[in-house]
Amino acid sequence: MALKFFALKICTLAALTLPQLACSSNYPESPEPVLLSNADTQFKHWNGIGKIFVDDAGYCTASLLDTRGATNTTRGPAYILTNGHCASIISGSAANTAYKGQMQFNYFHDTLVDGKRYEINKVNWASLASTDVAIMELHTSLDTLLKDGITPLKLASAAPTRPGRVHVIGAPEIAPGLRLSSCTQEPAKTTLVKYLTVHTNYQKQDCKGIAPGSSGSPVLDAASGEITGVLSGTTYGISPDDLCFWHALCADTKTKSLLPDQASHSFPVDYLSYCFSGGRFDMDAAFCTLKPNFYYSSSKDTDVQLYKKPINSSDPTPVWDIDFTMSTPFYRSKTVRDAQACYSSERFSGTKSTADGKVDEPIGRETGLYYLCLLGVESANQRPSTGLQRNTQIYPARIVEPAVDKLPEPTFITEPLDDLILITFREKQDRSIWTQFYAGPIGETNCADIDPKSYEKVENAIAMFLDDLPRTMCSFTMDRNLSTSGVRTDVIQRP
C-alpha cells in the first residue's frame, strides 16, 4: 500500500486631520488603529469598503471603484479593487476568469446586521508580476449600488512620489468590522522579496494594526481621499536577519529611507484609471498599459530557492530549476543580481521556445541573491514596452554556504489523532530550520541509501494514517544555509 501522509502547519480620530507630512527625518508616531462606527452615517464616505466572502467565510478587504468618469456613466458593472493574491492566482497574471464569491459593503461593526452581499462575476485582471493588484466585476451595476447608498472611491491619477499621510481602512480578522489605521507612507527604493514574488515599485507605511484580512485594503491619500494603492502585506515582527536573508531588505545605508524595513507595503494603482472607458474596464483602452500581456504559471509556489555554493572549481554551477507554462510562443530570459535590472531591455537572451517550459540556465557561483527575469514575447521582433515590462516575471534564488559543523538530529513526539498518528518535530514553524522526511516499508527501507531528493520538507509536523503503519521513518535537520544533521532512523508503530 502506498504511504499516505500530509504536512501540517501548527497552523483617535484626531489623526484624521493630521496635515500632509513634509519630506524630513522627523515624522509623528502612528496612532493605534480605530474601530469605525457608521450607524449615524459619520463614515458613509467609506461605506464602499468591505469584505470579500468565499464559501461564506470572510476573506480579503476590497473597495468599490468610482468609474463614472467625465460622462458620469453609472450603467456599467460595479468594480472592486483588491489584491492579486485574493483573486485565486499564485503567480503571473490572469484576465477574465470566473470567481465564486460575494462582496459586502458598509462593513462597519454596527451596520453588519442584515448586511447585503453582492455576487462577484469575474476577475477582470489580476497580477502578481511585480505587483499584487486585482480588479473584479460584480453582477450588480454601479447605478444599483449608488441607489443602495454605497459610495465608490476614486483612483488617484498619479502615484505618490514623496512621503505623506495616508489612511488604511480594512477589515482584519481580529476586528469586528472596518478599522482605520493612519500613518506615514513613502515610496520605497529597495527590492522586496515576498516568497516567490519580487517587487521594486511599491509604497511602505508605518501603520499599526495591520493583520490577516487586511489584504486588499485601500490606501487613501489623507488630503484627497483618493486611492493611492492597495495594501498587500507587512514585514512587522520579522527579525532584521530574516528580513535580509529572505526578503532582500538588508538595511541599505546608501538609500535614505524615512521608514524602517519593518513596515506594511502597498502597490500603486494610478495606471488603472486609464483602463476604464465609458464606465467599463477595458484593457484595450487607448492609454491603458496592461497590454501587451502574457499569462504565466509555474509549479514553483513555495519560497526563495536555495542552492549550495560551489566549493571547488570542478563543482558544477547551480542552475535554475523552473518549470512553467506561458501564453506566448517565445520568451527571453536573463539572470541578474539587482532586480531593477529586470526592467531594462539590456542583456536579455535571444528568443526561446516556451514549448518545453523549463529554465535550467546557470545562476552563479558566489553567495547572495540572484534574480531570474522572464519576458514572454510573440516573436523575435517584439520590442519591450511599458505593458510588456509590467508583466516581467522575476524569480529569486539565494546561493548559500553550508556550515562545517553538523546540525543536531531531529527530535519528535507522536500523538494519536483519530485514524492518524501526529508526528511533531517542533512546536512552531521556523522558516530558517526544518526537517527533511522520508518513510517507506519496514525491511525495504535503508535510510543511508535514500537519495536526499526523495525526502520531503516538513516545517513542524506530519501525520500518517494508522492503516499505513508500521513504517520506517528517515529524517534529518536542514537549515537555510543547507547545513544538515546526520540521518535518523525510526520505526513508527501503531499506538
* DSSP assignments along 346-404, one per residue: TT----EESSS-EE--B--SSSEEEEEEEEEESSTTPPP-HHHHHT-EEEEEEEE---S
- Would you put residue 287 in left (φ > 0), alpha (ψ -120 to 50) or beta? alpha
For residue 214, what is the DSSP state? -
Q: Which residues, at least 6 apart from 363, have a Cβ–Cβ distance to it below 8 Å? A: 307, 317, 318, 319, 320, 335, 370, 372, 397, 399
* Integer angstrom CA distances of residue 96 from 63, 87, 199, 257: 19, 11, 24, 39
Grouped pLDDT means (10 residues each) for the chain, 495 residues: 40 31 52 94 97 95 94 90 92 90 97 94 94 97 97 95 95 95 93 89 93 95 97 91 92 69 93 94 92 80 87 95 92 96 93 94 97 94 84 94 92 94 88 95 96 93 95 97 96 93
Task: Decide: 52 and 216 in contact? Cβ < 8 Å.
Answer: yes
| Rounded-to-integer distance, Cα 109 and Cα 335, Å | 49
Domains, the chain, in order of start with CATH, read: 26-281 (2.40.10.120), 296-400 (2.60.40), 413-492 (2.60.40)
How would DSSP label each residue in 301-343? -SS-EEEEPP-STTSPPPB--EEEEESSSEEEEEEESSGGGGG
382, with CB counted inside 10 A (0-12, 13-18, 19+), is middle
39, with CB counted inside 10 A (0-12, 13-18, 19+), is exposed
| Rounded-to-integer distance, Cα 33 and Cα 72, Å | 35
Looking only at the bridges linking them, the beta strands covering 305-308 and 393-400 are: parallel
Of 250, 194, 262, 200, nearest in space to 368 by CA: 250
How would DSSP label each residue in 38-65? -TTSTTGGGTTEEEEEETTEEEEEEEEB
Q: Which residues, at least 6 apart from 486, have a Cβ–Cβ distance to it below 8 Å? A: 406, 409, 476
Which helix (H) or strand (E) segment is 145 a member of?
helix 142-147
User: In this predicted structure, what is the pLDDT of residue 158?
Assistant: 93
Which grid coordinates are listed for 284? 484595450
User: In this predicted structure, what is the pLDDT of residue 252?
Assistant: 66
User: In this predicted structure, what is the pLDDT of residue 26?
Assistant: 53
- CA 121, 124, 129 angle in degrees (round to 5)? 135
Amino acid residing at 463: A
273, with CB counted inside 10 A (0-12, 13-18, 19+), is buried
User: In this predicted structure, what is the pLDDT of residue 302?
Assistant: 67
Q: Give the count of alpha carbons within 13 A of 324, CB side only.
A: 32
Of 393, 403, 245, nearest in space to 331 by CA: 393
- Side-by-side strand order, sheet with 393-400: 305-308, 393-400, 368-377, 330-336, 352-353
